Amino acid sequence: MMLPVLMALYILFPALVIYLCYRFPRINKIGAVVICYISGIILGNIGVLPDAVYPIQETLSEASVVIALPLLLFSMDVRKWSRLAGKTLLSMLLATISIIVVAIAGFFLIKPFVSDAWQLAALSVGVYTGGTPNLAAIKAALNVESTRFIIVHTYDTVISIIYIIFCITIARRVFGILLPPFVKASTNHGLAGDGDADGLETEQIKAYSGILSRKIVPGLAAALGIALGIVGLSVFVGSLMPKDYSTSFIILSITTLGIGASFIPKIRSIAKTFQFGMYVIYIFCFTVASMANFKTLVNIDVPIMLFIVFSIFGSMALHAVLCAPFKIDTDTFIIVSASAICSPPLVPVVSDGLKNNEVLLSGLTTGIIGYAIGNYLGISIGLALFNFF
What pLDDT score does 220 carry?
A: 96
What pLDDT score does 196 carry?
A: 41
Q: Residue 369 has what DSSP assignment?
A: H
Cα dihedral across residues 25, 29, 31, 37: positive or negative: negative
What pLDDT score does 189 carry?
A: 42
Cβ-in-10-Å burial (0-12, 13-18, 19+) of 62 comes to: middle
For residues 343 and 244, what is the distance between their CA atoms, to the nearest angstrom? 30
By C-alpha distance, which of 341, 351, 364, 316 is closest to 134? Answer: 341
By C-alpha distance, which of 225, 224, 223, 230 is closest to 270? Answer: 223
Query: Measured between alpha carbons, how far is residue 352 from residues 132, 182, 346, 389 in Å?
Result: 22, 15, 10, 43
* Helix/strand/coil (H/E/C) assignment for every residue in 239-256: CCCCHHHHHHHHHHHHHH
What is the pTM for the complete model shown? Answer: 0.76
DSSP lists the bridge partners of residue 291 as none
Altogether, the residues listed in the chain come to a count of 389
pLDDT in tens, 279-335: 998 898 898 888 877 776 678 899 999 999 999 999 999 999 999 999 999 999 999
How many Cβ atoms are within 10 Å of 214's Cβ, its own excluded?
Answer: 7
pLDDT in tens, 80-113: 666 566 889 999 999 999 999 999 999 999 999 9
The list of the chain residues with pLDDT below 50 reads 1, 186-202
By C-alpha distance, which of 44, 30, 15, 68 is closest to 287? Answer: 44
What pLDDT score does 136 carry?
A: 87
